[in-house]
Chains A and B, each alone.
Chain A
Amino acid sequence: MVKLTADNIEMRFGERLLYRFQHLSLAQNQTIHLQGDNGSGKTTLMKMFAGLIAPSSGEINIQGADSLPWWRRNPLLGKAVYLHQHPYLFEGSVAANLSYVHSLCEGDKATIMARTEQAAKLAQLDHLMQQNAANLSGGERQRLAIARAWIMQPKLLMLDEPTSNMDKLSQELVLTLIKDLQKQGTGMLISSHQACVLTQLCNQMWKIEQQGLTSTQHTPTMAKYSNTGQSQEFSYVTAS
Protein backbone atom coordinates (compact mmCIF):
# COMPACT_ATOMS: atom_id res chain seq x y z
CA MET A 1 0.00 0.00 0.00
CA VAL A 2 1.29 3.40 -0.97
CA LYS A 3 1.39 5.87 1.90
CA LEU A 4 2.59 9.42 1.98
CA THR A 5 3.77 10.83 5.31
CA ALA A 6 4.62 14.41 6.18
CA ASP A 7 6.52 15.12 9.38
CA ASN A 8 7.37 18.37 11.18
CA ILE A 9 6.24 20.46 8.24
CA GLU A 10 6.53 24.19 8.26
CA MET A 11 5.59 26.31 5.26
CA ARG A 12 6.53 29.95 4.99
CA PHE A 13 6.42 32.53 2.26
CA GLY A 14 9.16 34.90 3.30
CA GLU A 15 8.38 35.96 6.86
CA ARG A 16 4.76 34.87 6.64
CA LEU A 17 4.02 31.54 8.29
CA LEU A 18 1.35 29.68 6.34
CA TYR A 19 1.14 26.72 8.70
CA ARG A 20 3.08 24.19 10.66
CA PHE A 21 2.07 20.71 11.70
CA GLN A 22 3.70 17.65 13.22
CA HIS A 23 2.39 14.70 11.26
CA LEU A 24 -0.02 13.90 8.47
CA SER A 25 -0.43 10.89 6.26
CA LEU A 26 -2.37 10.11 3.11
CA ALA A 27 -2.68 6.47 2.11
CA GLN A 28 -4.51 4.42 -0.48
CA ASN A 29 -8.17 3.77 0.32
CA GLN A 30 -8.45 7.08 2.16
CA THR A 31 -10.58 9.93 0.84
CA ILE A 32 -9.94 13.17 2.64
CA HIS A 33 -11.72 16.49 2.44
CA LEU A 34 -9.25 19.35 2.75
CA GLN A 35 -10.96 22.43 4.04
CA GLY A 36 -9.76 25.94 4.61
CA ASP A 37 -10.54 29.52 3.77
CA ASN A 38 -9.28 31.18 0.62
CA GLY A 39 -5.56 31.80 0.93
CA SER A 40 -5.18 29.36 3.81
CA GLY A 41 -2.76 27.23 1.80
CA LYS A 42 -4.80 24.30 0.48
CA THR A 43 -3.19 24.43 -2.96
CA THR A 44 0.27 24.81 -1.44
CA LEU A 45 -0.29 21.73 0.74
CA MET A 46 -1.44 19.67 -2.22
CA LYS A 47 1.48 20.78 -4.40
CA MET A 48 3.81 19.93 -1.53
CA PHE A 49 2.36 16.43 -1.30
CA ALA A 50 2.66 16.05 -5.07
CA GLY A 51 6.35 16.94 -4.90
CA LEU A 52 5.92 20.11 -6.95
CA ILE A 53 7.11 22.41 -4.19
CA ALA A 54 9.24 21.77 -1.14
CA PRO A 55 8.21 22.71 2.40
CA SER A 56 10.26 25.36 4.19
CA SER A 57 11.21 22.65 6.66
CA GLY A 58 10.21 19.08 7.42
CA GLU A 59 10.08 15.88 5.44
CA ILE A 60 7.61 14.28 3.08
CA ASN A 61 8.16 10.62 2.28
CA ILE A 62 6.36 8.00 0.30
CA GLN A 63 6.26 4.35 1.29
CA GLY A 64 5.25 1.36 -0.78
CA ALA A 65 5.98 2.95 -4.15
CA ASP A 66 8.32 1.33 -6.68
CA SER A 67 11.94 2.37 -6.34
CA LEU A 68 13.03 4.97 -8.86
CA PRO A 69 16.05 5.06 -11.13
CA TRP A 70 18.86 7.34 -9.98
CA TRP A 71 17.90 10.15 -12.35
CA ARG A 72 14.38 10.42 -10.87
CA ARG A 73 15.28 12.03 -7.58
CA ASN A 74 11.83 13.18 -6.48
CA PRO A 75 9.85 10.08 -5.45
CA LEU A 76 6.56 11.98 -5.13
CA LEU A 77 6.30 13.10 -8.76
CA GLY A 78 4.03 10.82 -10.73
CA LYS A 79 3.01 8.88 -7.61
CA ALA A 80 0.84 11.52 -5.99
CA VAL A 81 -0.88 13.19 -8.93
CA TYR A 82 -2.09 16.77 -8.49
CA LEU A 83 -4.91 18.27 -10.55
CA HIS A 84 -5.07 22.07 -10.75
CA GLN A 85 -8.25 23.97 -9.97
CA HIS A 86 -8.06 25.27 -13.54
CA PRO A 87 -6.53 22.27 -15.29
CA TYR A 88 -3.81 22.73 -17.86
CA LEU A 89 -4.44 21.01 -21.16
CA PHE A 90 -1.62 20.59 -23.61
CA GLU A 91 -1.80 22.07 -27.08
CA GLY A 92 -3.54 19.68 -29.45
CA SER A 93 -6.67 17.58 -29.56
CA VAL A 94 -8.59 15.90 -26.75
CA ALA A 95 -7.15 12.57 -27.96
CA ALA A 96 -3.60 13.96 -27.81
CA ASN A 97 -4.17 15.08 -24.23
CA LEU A 98 -5.44 11.65 -23.22
CA SER A 99 -2.59 9.87 -24.98
CA TYR A 100 0.00 12.10 -23.26
CA VAL A 101 -0.03 9.74 -20.28
CA HIS A 102 0.24 6.50 -22.31
CA SER A 103 3.99 6.19 -21.93
CA LEU A 104 3.69 7.12 -18.25
CA CYS A 105 1.17 4.35 -17.44
CA GLU A 106 1.92 0.91 -16.19
CA GLY A 107 0.47 -2.01 -18.17
CA ASP A 108 0.41 -3.25 -21.74
CA LYS A 109 -0.55 -1.10 -24.69
CA ALA A 110 -3.89 -2.80 -25.36
CA THR A 111 -5.04 -2.29 -21.76
CA ILE A 112 -4.01 1.35 -21.81
CA MET A 113 -5.82 1.94 -25.11
CA ALA A 114 -8.96 0.27 -23.75
CA ARG A 115 -8.74 2.40 -20.60
CA THR A 116 -8.38 5.54 -22.71
CA GLU A 117 -11.53 4.69 -24.65
CA GLN A 118 -13.38 3.98 -21.45
CA ALA A 119 -12.19 7.23 -19.86
CA ALA A 120 -13.39 9.23 -22.87
CA LYS A 121 -16.78 7.52 -22.64
CA LEU A 122 -17.13 8.00 -18.89
CA ALA A 123 -16.25 11.68 -19.23
CA GLN A 124 -18.56 11.95 -22.27
CA LEU A 125 -15.73 13.28 -24.38
CA ASP A 126 -15.72 10.46 -26.93
CA HIS A 127 -17.48 12.62 -29.53
CA LEU A 128 -14.93 15.41 -29.05
CA MET A 129 -11.74 13.37 -29.45
CA GLN A 130 -10.47 15.25 -32.50
CA GLN A 131 -11.47 18.68 -31.22
CA ASN A 132 -8.79 21.10 -30.11
CA ALA A 133 -8.60 21.05 -26.30
CA ALA A 134 -8.33 24.85 -26.25
CA ASN A 135 -11.93 25.06 -27.48
CA LEU A 136 -13.48 23.05 -24.64
CA SER A 137 -15.77 24.57 -22.03
CA GLY A 138 -14.71 24.83 -18.37
CA GLY A 139 -16.56 21.67 -17.36
CA GLU A 140 -15.22 19.71 -20.34
CA ARG A 141 -11.67 20.82 -19.52
CA GLN A 142 -12.01 19.59 -15.95
CA ARG A 143 -13.52 16.29 -17.15
CA LEU A 144 -10.67 15.84 -19.61
CA ALA A 145 -8.06 16.47 -16.91
CA ILE A 146 -9.70 13.96 -14.56
CA ALA A 147 -10.12 11.42 -17.37
CA ARG A 148 -6.40 11.82 -18.17
CA ALA A 149 -5.56 11.07 -14.55
CA TRP A 150 -8.11 8.24 -14.47
CA ILE A 151 -6.25 6.44 -17.28
CA MET A 152 -3.14 6.44 -15.10
CA GLN A 153 -4.99 4.89 -12.15
CA PRO A 154 -2.80 6.77 -9.70
CA LYS A 155 -2.18 5.44 -6.22
CA LEU A 156 -2.72 8.91 -4.75
CA LEU A 157 -4.64 11.78 -6.30
CA MET A 158 -5.12 15.36 -5.21
CA LEU A 159 -8.00 17.35 -6.62
CA ASP A 160 -7.94 21.10 -6.12
CA GLU A 161 -11.49 22.53 -6.01
CA PRO A 162 -12.51 20.06 -8.72
CA THR A 163 -16.16 21.02 -9.04
CA SER A 164 -15.88 24.79 -8.88
CA ASN A 165 -17.74 26.40 -11.78
CA MET A 166 -19.04 23.07 -13.04
CA ASP A 167 -22.53 22.38 -14.27
CA LYS A 168 -24.64 19.52 -12.94
CA LEU A 169 -23.83 17.09 -15.75
CA SER A 170 -20.08 17.64 -15.41
CA GLN A 171 -20.30 17.19 -11.65
CA GLU A 172 -22.10 13.87 -12.09
CA LEU A 173 -19.58 12.64 -14.65
CA VAL A 174 -16.66 13.65 -12.45
CA LEU A 175 -18.33 11.91 -9.51
CA THR A 176 -18.54 8.70 -11.55
CA LEU A 177 -14.83 8.84 -12.41
CA ILE A 178 -13.80 9.66 -8.85
CA LYS A 179 -16.03 6.94 -7.36
CA ASP A 180 -14.40 4.46 -9.71
CA LEU A 181 -10.93 5.52 -8.61
CA GLN A 182 -12.04 5.24 -4.99
CA LYS A 183 -13.22 1.69 -5.69
CA GLN A 184 -9.80 0.89 -7.14
CA GLY A 185 -8.20 2.06 -3.90
CA THR A 186 -6.81 5.42 -4.98
CA GLY A 187 -6.12 7.61 -1.96
CA MET A 188 -7.60 11.04 -2.55
CA LEU A 189 -7.30 14.49 -1.09
CA ILE A 190 -10.11 16.75 -2.27
CA SER A 191 -9.91 20.42 -1.49
CA SER A 192 -13.05 22.45 -1.29
CA HIS A 193 -13.89 25.38 0.90
CA GLN A 194 -17.46 24.17 1.06
CA ALA A 195 -19.27 20.87 0.76
CA CYS A 196 -19.76 19.68 -2.79
CA VAL A 197 -20.74 16.62 -4.74
CA LEU A 198 -17.36 14.99 -4.10
CA THR A 199 -17.00 15.70 -0.40
CA GLN A 200 -19.77 13.18 0.33
CA LEU A 201 -17.22 10.52 -0.61
CA CYS A 202 -14.79 11.66 2.09
CA ASN A 203 -14.35 9.79 5.30
CA GLN A 204 -11.87 12.15 6.88
CA MET A 205 -11.36 15.88 7.02
CA TRP A 206 -8.26 18.05 7.28
CA LYS A 207 -8.87 21.63 8.21
CA ILE A 208 -6.38 24.43 7.84
CA GLU A 209 -6.98 27.14 10.39
CA GLN A 210 -4.94 29.44 12.61
CA GLN A 211 -1.68 28.47 10.91
CA GLY A 212 -2.21 24.85 11.83
CA LEU A 213 -3.82 21.77 10.45
CA THR A 214 -6.27 19.52 12.25
CA SER A 215 -7.15 16.05 11.14
CA THR A 216 -10.42 14.47 12.15
CA GLN A 217 -12.03 11.16 11.37
CA HIS A 218 -15.45 11.97 10.11
CA THR A 219 -18.60 10.22 9.07
CA PRO A 220 -20.84 12.35 6.93
CA THR A 221 -24.30 11.99 8.44
CA MET A 222 -26.10 13.81 5.67
CA ALA A 223 -24.00 12.32 2.97
CA LYS A 224 -26.46 13.00 0.27
CA TYR A 225 -25.70 15.63 -2.26
CA SER A 226 -28.63 17.72 -3.29
CA ASN A 227 -29.39 17.04 -6.91
CA THR A 228 -30.57 20.56 -7.41
CA GLY A 229 -27.01 21.32 -8.43
CA GLN A 230 -26.46 23.52 -5.38
CA SER A 231 -24.02 22.55 -2.72
CA GLN A 232 -25.13 22.21 0.85
CA GLU A 233 -23.25 22.10 4.10
CA PHE A 234 -22.81 18.66 5.60
CA SER A 235 -22.78 17.88 9.27
CA TYR A 236 -19.88 15.80 10.41
CA VAL A 237 -19.70 13.68 13.50
CA THR A 238 -16.29 13.06 14.89
CA ALA A 239 -15.59 9.37 15.04
CA SER A 240 -14.83 8.22 18.51
Chain B
Amino acid sequence: MNDGWLALIQQALSLLFSLDPEVWSIVSVSFSVSFAALAITLIPSLILGFILAFGRFPGRWLVTNLIQTLQSIPTVVIGLLVYLMLTRMGPLGDLKWLFTQKGMILGQMLICAPVLVAMSQAAFTSVDRRAWETSRTLGASWARAVWTVCRELKVPLLMAIVAAFSRILTEVGCSMMVGGNIADVTRNIPTAIALETSKGDFAQAIALGLVLLILSLVLNFTLGTLRGKAEPRSH
Protein backbone atom coordinates (compact mmCIF):
# COMPACT_ATOMS: atom_id res chain seq x y z
CA MET B 1 0.00 0.00 0.00
CA ASN B 2 1.60 3.29 -1.00
CA ASP B 3 1.55 6.61 0.87
CA GLY B 4 -1.30 7.97 -1.27
CA TRP B 5 -3.60 5.19 -0.09
CA LEU B 6 -2.58 5.60 3.53
CA ALA B 7 -3.21 9.34 3.32
CA LEU B 8 -6.68 8.69 1.87
CA ILE B 9 -7.58 6.25 4.63
CA GLN B 10 -6.28 8.73 7.24
CA GLN B 11 -8.43 11.47 5.72
CA ALA B 12 -11.43 9.14 5.65
CA LEU B 13 -10.99 8.22 9.33
CA SER B 14 -10.53 11.87 10.19
CA LEU B 15 -13.80 12.72 8.45
CA LEU B 16 -15.60 10.05 10.45
CA PHE B 17 -14.07 10.76 13.85
CA SER B 18 -14.21 14.56 13.51
CA LEU B 19 -17.97 14.07 12.99
CA ASP B 20 -17.84 15.86 9.64
CA PRO B 21 -21.40 17.25 9.22
CA GLU B 22 -21.60 16.43 5.51
CA VAL B 23 -20.58 12.80 5.99
CA TRP B 24 -22.87 12.25 8.95
CA SER B 25 -25.79 13.97 7.19
CA ILE B 26 -25.39 11.43 4.36
CA VAL B 27 -25.24 8.56 6.87
CA SER B 28 -28.31 9.92 8.63
CA VAL B 29 -30.34 10.14 5.39
CA SER B 30 -29.30 6.63 4.47
CA PHE B 31 -30.26 5.10 7.77
CA SER B 32 -33.50 7.02 8.27
CA VAL B 33 -34.78 6.15 4.78
CA SER B 34 -33.75 2.48 4.95
CA PHE B 35 -35.03 1.99 8.52
CA ALA B 36 -38.37 3.55 7.56
CA ALA B 37 -38.69 1.32 4.48
CA LEU B 38 -37.81 -1.77 6.54
CA ALA B 39 -40.13 -0.84 9.41
CA ILE B 40 -43.12 -0.32 7.11
CA THR B 41 -42.49 -3.51 5.14
CA LEU B 42 -41.45 -5.89 7.91
CA ILE B 43 -44.72 -7.03 9.51
CA PRO B 44 -46.82 -7.33 6.31
CA SER B 45 -43.96 -9.21 4.61
CA LEU B 46 -43.57 -11.66 7.49
CA ILE B 47 -47.33 -12.25 7.53
CA LEU B 48 -47.32 -12.87 3.77
CA GLY B 49 -44.33 -15.22 4.16
CA PHE B 50 -46.23 -17.07 6.89
CA ILE B 51 -49.40 -17.35 4.78
CA LEU B 52 -47.45 -18.59 1.75
CA ALA B 53 -45.69 -21.19 3.90
CA PHE B 54 -48.70 -22.49 5.81
CA GLY B 55 -51.69 -21.51 3.68
CA ARG B 56 -53.12 -23.69 0.96
CA PHE B 57 -55.05 -21.59 -1.55
CA PRO B 58 -55.36 -21.31 -5.31
CA GLY B 59 -52.67 -19.10 -6.80
CA ARG B 60 -50.16 -19.74 -4.00
CA TRP B 61 -47.68 -21.20 -6.44
CA LEU B 62 -48.07 -18.17 -8.72
CA VAL B 63 -47.56 -15.65 -5.89
CA THR B 64 -44.51 -17.55 -4.63
CA ASN B 65 -42.91 -17.53 -8.07
CA LEU B 66 -43.78 -13.90 -8.64
CA ILE B 67 -42.04 -12.93 -5.41
CA GLN B 68 -39.00 -15.04 -6.27
CA THR B 69 -38.84 -13.20 -9.61
CA LEU B 70 -39.22 -9.77 -7.98
CA GLN B 71 -36.17 -10.53 -5.84
CA SER B 72 -33.95 -10.66 -8.88
CA ILE B 73 -35.21 -7.52 -10.63
CA PRO B 74 -32.37 -4.95 -10.75
CA THR B 75 -32.92 -2.03 -8.41
CA VAL B 76 -32.52 0.39 -11.30
CA VAL B 77 -35.59 -1.16 -12.96
CA ILE B 78 -37.56 -0.72 -9.74
CA GLY B 79 -36.23 2.85 -9.67
CA LEU B 80 -37.51 3.41 -13.18
CA LEU B 81 -40.92 1.98 -12.27
CA VAL B 82 -41.22 4.17 -9.16
CA TYR B 83 -39.97 7.19 -11.12
CA LEU B 84 -42.67 6.65 -13.75
CA MET B 85 -45.31 6.31 -11.04
CA LEU B 86 -44.19 9.43 -9.17
CA THR B 87 -43.48 11.68 -12.12
CA ARG B 88 -45.97 14.48 -12.64
CA MET B 89 -47.77 12.53 -15.37
CA GLY B 90 -47.70 9.26 -13.42
CA PRO B 91 -50.53 7.70 -11.39
CA LEU B 92 -48.98 8.87 -8.10
CA GLY B 93 -47.79 12.23 -9.47
CA ASP B 94 -50.16 14.19 -7.20
CA LEU B 95 -48.25 12.99 -4.15
CA LYS B 96 -45.23 15.05 -5.27
CA TRP B 97 -42.87 12.45 -3.81
CA LEU B 98 -40.32 12.50 -6.63
CA PHE B 99 -36.87 13.57 -5.38
CA THR B 100 -38.01 13.29 -1.76
CA GLN B 101 -37.21 10.85 1.01
CA LYS B 102 -40.79 9.55 0.83
CA GLY B 103 -40.20 8.53 -2.78
CA MET B 104 -36.96 6.81 -1.80
CA ILE B 105 -38.76 4.97 1.00
CA LEU B 106 -41.40 3.77 -1.48
CA GLY B 107 -38.71 2.49 -3.84
CA GLN B 108 -36.80 0.75 -1.06
CA MET B 109 -40.00 -0.86 0.21
CA LEU B 110 -40.49 -2.46 -3.22
CA ILE B 111 -36.89 -3.69 -3.15
CA CYS B 112 -36.93 -5.06 0.38
CA ALA B 113 -40.41 -6.68 0.47
CA PRO B 114 -39.69 -9.57 -1.95
CA VAL B 115 -36.48 -10.45 -0.06
CA LEU B 116 -38.30 -10.46 3.27
CA VAL B 117 -41.28 -12.46 1.95
CA ALA B 118 -39.18 -15.07 0.14
CA MET B 119 -36.69 -15.58 2.97
CA SER B 120 -39.35 -15.64 5.68
CA GLN B 121 -41.44 -18.08 3.62
CA ALA B 122 -38.39 -20.35 3.37
CA ALA B 123 -37.86 -20.03 7.14
CA PHE B 124 -41.50 -20.77 7.98
CA THR B 125 -41.55 -23.72 5.57
CA SER B 126 -38.58 -25.22 7.38
CA VAL B 127 -40.15 -24.92 10.83
CA ASP B 128 -41.12 -28.07 12.67
CA ARG B 129 -44.91 -28.21 12.33
CA ARG B 130 -45.12 -29.52 15.89
CA ALA B 131 -44.12 -26.05 17.16
CA TRP B 132 -47.33 -24.59 15.74
CA GLU B 133 -49.44 -27.59 16.78
CA THR B 134 -48.05 -27.63 20.33
CA SER B 135 -48.68 -23.94 20.78
CA ARG B 136 -52.23 -24.16 19.44
CA THR B 137 -53.20 -27.31 21.32
CA LEU B 138 -51.99 -25.75 24.58
CA GLY B 139 -54.55 -23.02 23.93
CA ALA B 140 -52.43 -20.22 22.45
CA SER B 141 -54.28 -17.78 20.23
CA TRP B 142 -53.41 -17.57 16.54
CA ALA B 143 -51.31 -14.44 17.17
CA ARG B 144 -49.40 -16.00 20.07
CA ALA B 145 -48.77 -19.17 18.07
CA VAL B 146 -47.36 -17.05 15.22
CA TRP B 147 -45.15 -15.24 17.74
CA THR B 148 -44.01 -18.59 19.18
CA VAL B 149 -43.08 -19.88 15.72
CA CYS B 150 -41.24 -16.60 14.99
CA ARG B 151 -39.27 -17.00 18.22
CA GLU B 152 -38.36 -20.55 17.27
CA LEU B 153 -37.13 -19.17 13.95
CA LYS B 154 -35.40 -16.09 15.27
CA VAL B 155 -32.08 -16.80 13.55
CA PRO B 156 -33.40 -17.39 9.99
CA LEU B 157 -35.85 -14.50 10.37
CA LEU B 158 -33.11 -12.15 11.57
CA MET B 159 -31.04 -13.30 8.61
CA ALA B 160 -33.93 -12.34 6.32
CA ILE B 161 -34.16 -8.91 7.97
CA VAL B 162 -30.41 -8.35 7.71
CA ALA B 163 -30.36 -9.43 4.05
CA ALA B 164 -33.26 -7.10 3.21
CA PHE B 165 -31.74 -4.19 5.12
CA SER B 166 -28.35 -4.71 3.49
CA ARG B 167 -29.96 -4.76 0.06
CA ILE B 168 -31.76 -1.43 0.53
CA LEU B 169 -28.96 0.29 2.39
CA THR B 170 -26.49 -0.44 -0.37
CA GLU B 171 -28.62 -0.06 -3.51
CA VAL B 172 -27.73 2.83 -5.81
CA GLY B 173 -30.04 2.62 -8.83
CA CYS B 174 -33.40 3.31 -7.26
CA SER B 175 -32.11 5.94 -4.79
CA MET B 176 -30.32 7.81 -7.56
CA MET B 177 -33.35 7.86 -9.88
CA VAL B 178 -36.10 8.50 -7.35
CA GLY B 179 -34.14 10.55 -4.83
CA GLY B 180 -32.06 12.57 -7.26
CA ASN B 181 -28.99 12.68 -4.98
CA ILE B 182 -29.86 16.09 -3.48
CA ALA B 183 -27.38 17.12 -0.75
CA ASP B 184 -28.80 16.95 2.81
CA VAL B 185 -32.16 15.75 1.48
CA THR B 186 -31.88 12.59 -0.57
CA ARG B 187 -28.14 11.97 -0.78
CA ASN B 188 -27.49 8.63 0.90
CA ILE B 189 -24.34 6.53 1.31
CA PRO B 190 -24.36 4.65 -2.04
CA THR B 191 -25.31 7.67 -4.15
CA ALA B 192 -22.73 9.81 -2.34
CA ILE B 193 -20.01 7.19 -2.88
CA ALA B 194 -20.86 7.11 -6.60
CA LEU B 195 -20.80 10.92 -6.80
CA GLU B 196 -17.62 11.46 -4.76
CA THR B 197 -15.78 8.75 -6.70
CA SER B 198 -16.76 10.36 -10.00
CA LYS B 199 -15.48 13.69 -8.63
CA GLY B 200 -12.24 12.10 -7.46
CA ASP B 201 -12.94 12.83 -3.77
CA PHE B 202 -11.98 9.38 -2.59
CA ALA B 203 -11.58 10.27 1.11
CA GLN B 204 -15.30 10.88 1.61
CA ALA B 205 -16.18 7.84 -0.49
CA ILE B 206 -13.87 5.68 1.67
CA ALA B 207 -15.29 7.17 4.88
CA LEU B 208 -18.81 6.26 3.78
CA GLY B 209 -17.66 2.85 2.58
CA LEU B 210 -16.16 2.24 6.03
CA VAL B 211 -19.53 2.98 7.65
CA LEU B 212 -21.13 0.27 5.51
CA LEU B 213 -18.28 -2.12 6.19
CA ILE B 214 -18.48 -1.63 9.98
CA LEU B 215 -22.25 -2.05 9.90
CA SER B 216 -21.92 -5.23 7.88
CA LEU B 217 -19.35 -6.62 10.35
CA VAL B 218 -21.52 -5.78 13.38
CA LEU B 219 -24.63 -7.37 11.85
CA ASN B 220 -22.83 -10.51 10.73
CA PHE B 221 -21.03 -11.00 14.03
CA THR B 222 -24.31 -10.57 15.90
CA LEU B 223 -25.98 -13.15 13.67
CA GLY B 224 -23.02 -15.48 14.01
CA THR B 225 -23.25 -15.27 17.80
CA LEU B 226 -26.99 -15.99 17.74
CA ARG B 227 -26.46 -18.92 15.38
CA GLY B 228 -23.74 -20.27 17.63
CA LYS B 229 -25.97 -20.10 20.69
CA ALA B 230 -28.84 -21.96 19.04
CA GLU B 231 -28.79 -25.59 20.14
CA PRO B 232 -29.22 -28.27 17.50
CA ARG B 233 -32.66 -29.84 17.79
CA SER B 234 -33.45 -33.48 18.21
CA HIS B 235 -36.76 -35.35 18.45
Query: Are B139 and A88 in touch, CB under 8 angstroms?
Result: no
Query: Are B152 and A90 in touch, CB under 8 angstroms?
Result: yes
Number of A-B residue pairs at CB separation under 8 A: 64
Query: Are A135 and B231 in touch, CB under 8 angstroms?
Result: yes
Q: How far is the CB of B26 from chain A (nearest CB, A)?
A: 40
Residue of A nearest to B131 (CB): A88
Query: Are B139 and A152 in touch, CB under 8 angstroms?
Result: yes
Instruction: List residues of chain B with CB within 8 A of the CB of A72.
Output: 141
- The complex places the Cα of A91 from the Cα of B152 at a distance, in Å, of 6
Instruction: List residues of chain A with CB within 8 A of the CB of B148.
Output: 90, 100
- The complex places the Cα of A72 from the Cα of B133 at a distance, in Å, of 15
Instruction: List residues of chain B with CB within 8 A of the CB of A81.
Output: 137-139
Interface residues of A, dominant DSSP = loop
CB-contact partner of A52 in B131, B137, B140, B235, under 8 A: B137
Asked if A44 lies at the interface with its beta carbon under 8 angstroms from chain B, I say: no
Q: How far is the CB of A219 from chain B (nearest CB, A)?
A: 31
Asked if B199 lies at the interface with its beta carbon under 8 angstroms from chain A, I say: no
- The complex places the Cα of A152 from the Cα of B234 at a distance, in Å, of 25
Query: Are B139 and A78 in touch, CB under 8 angstroms?
Result: yes
Instruction: List residues of chain B with CB within 8 A of the CB of A51.
Output: 136-137
Query: Are B136 and A52 in touch, CB under 8 angstroms?
Result: yes
- The complex places the Cα of A18 from the Cα of B141 at a distance, in Å, of 30
Q: How far is the CB of B230 from chain A (nearest CB, A)?
A: 7
Residue of A nearest to B151 (CB): A91
Instruction: List residues of chain B with CB within 8 A of the CB of A3.
Output: none
B120-148 Cβ-contact flags toward A at 8 Å (1 or 0): 00000000101101101111111000001
Q: List 30 A-B contacts (CB under 8 A).
A: A47-B133, A51-B136, A51-B137, A52-B133, A52-B137, A71-B142, A77-B137, A78-B137, A79-B139, A81-B139, A82-B133, A84-B130, A84-B133, A84-B134, A86-B130, A86-B235, A87-B130, A88-B134, A90-B148, A90-B151, A91-B152, A91-B230, A100-B138, A101-B139, A104-B138, A104-B139, A134-B231, A134-B234, A135-B231, A152-B139
Asked if A132 lies at the interface with its beta carbon under 8 angstroms from chain B, I say: yes
Given contacts A88-B130, A88-B131, contact A134 B136 (CB under 8 A): no
Q: Identify which of residues 48-69 in chain A touch chain B, using a CB-to-CB cut-off of 8 Å.
A: 50-52
In the complex, which of the residues B131, B139, B235 has the most CB atoms of chain A within 10 Å of its own CB atom?
A: B139
Interface size on B, residues (CB 8 A): 21
- The complex places the Cα of A51 from the Cα of B140 at a distance, in Å, of 13
- The complex places the Cα of A88 from the Cα of B109 at a distance, in Å, of 36
Instruction: List residues of chain A with CB within 8 A of the CB of B91.
Output: none
- The complex places the Cα of A81 from the Cα of B139 at a distance, in Å, of 8
Asked if B56 lies at the interface with its beta carbon under 8 angstroms from chain A, I say: no
- The complex places the Cα of A132 from the Cα of B136 at a distance, in Å, of 22
Q: How far is the CB of A91 from chain B (nearest CB, A)?
A: 6
CB-contact partner of B136 in A77, A135, A148, under 8 A: A77
Q: How far is the CB of A92 from chain B (nearest CB, A)?
A: 9
Asked if B58 lies at the interface with its beta carbon under 8 angstroms from chain A, I say: no
Query: Are B231 and A132 in touch, CB under 8 angstroms?
Result: yes
- The complex places the Cα of A82 from the Cα of B130 at a distance, in Å, of 11
Asked if B59 lies at the interface with its beta carbon under 8 angstroms from chain A, I say: no
Query: Are B234 and A104 in touch, CB under 8 angstroms?
Result: no
Instruction: List residues of chain A with CB within 8 A of the CB of B142.
Output: 71
Q: Identify which of residues 124-183 in chain A touch chain B, using a CB-to-CB cut-off of 8 Å.
A: 132, 134-135, 138, 148-149, 152
